[in-house]
Structure 1
């Protein structure tokens, strides 16, 4: 009987200590204190976007003597929904700019790692090229859907 009472007293003391420790940690980390900088506000949400599909971009990778491979990239442009008509009106010019940019990048091998296409580099170059045609802030992202390489 004495052992049970002793065990009960020790258990209550341990639970009380754990509760007090939890309460102290809660007050330190979760309760705002005076003189503390306010938490950062979340950035405003992105504007609604729409998608413009582009025709496949097919570019030859020319080696020292011959064409070594063909690189085909299928992209979709993520644009601000309000500007989708502008992008669709300039779609032939955007396609030409993307094709020219990809052709130059494959030619100088800035998007190739060995014989493989470096997708983040392609995405970066195509995003900058599309922004030059339709303006900054219109093209939110260039979504690369398919990359195909065919060795010859």
Structure 2
């Protein structure tokens, strides 16, 4: 009788261990292994339209202090434009230049593009991109490429 009890306990123990192992394996596969069908498909962004470049004349702006001009800021930029709009932007380049110069004057005056006495190039790019978009329309200017920034203290 003792042998039969031992065999029954052994079989029950093996069944419990097998069930626990199978349950653990199922949980592992469900929550920890990546499945192809459940993974969200990554959508590729639409391709960037072909672009061309429009060079701008240097923008020279005085930084005026409390009583006098403290420094001159010169920024040389090139506009990255949608390729089929390059002739349109070139035709309106004097207006774009005027808007960019006015924007840069205002930004240097209110010091929104200055970090201490240094020019914040990222802020300049954002301001000039917004200014150009007001003249030629949204989506035409893809990027403002800042080529040179010089500051001359007086």
TM, length-normalised to structure 2: 0.77
User: Residue by residue, what CA displacement relative to the aligned partner does 1:67-118 show, whole Å, maximum 9, x if unpaired?
Assistant: 0000000000000001001100000000000000000000111111110001
TM-align CA RMSD: 1.5
Q: Which runs of 5+ in 1 are unaligned?
A: 1-23
- CA separation in 2, counterparts of 1:109 and 1:41? 41
Aligned match of 1:41? 43
| Structure label with greater radius of gyration | 2
- What is the distance in 2 between the residues matched to 1:132 and 1:71? 23
The 2-side partners of 1:38 and 1:150 are apart by: 53
Q: How does 1:3-152 map to 2 (within 5 A)?
A: 28-29=33-34, 32-33=36-37, 36-152=38-154
* Length-normalised TM-score, structure 1: 0.78
- Count the aligned residue pairs: 124
Q: CA deviation at 1:37?
A: 4.6
Deviation at 1:123, TM superposition (A): 0.6
Secondary structure, aligned partner of 2:151: strand
Spell out structure 1 runs of 4+ moving beyond 6 A. Answer: none
Q: Secondary structure at the match of 2:146?
A: strand
Could you tell me how far apart the structure 1 residues matched to 2:117 and 2:40 are? 51
SS of residue in 2 equivalent to 1:40: coil
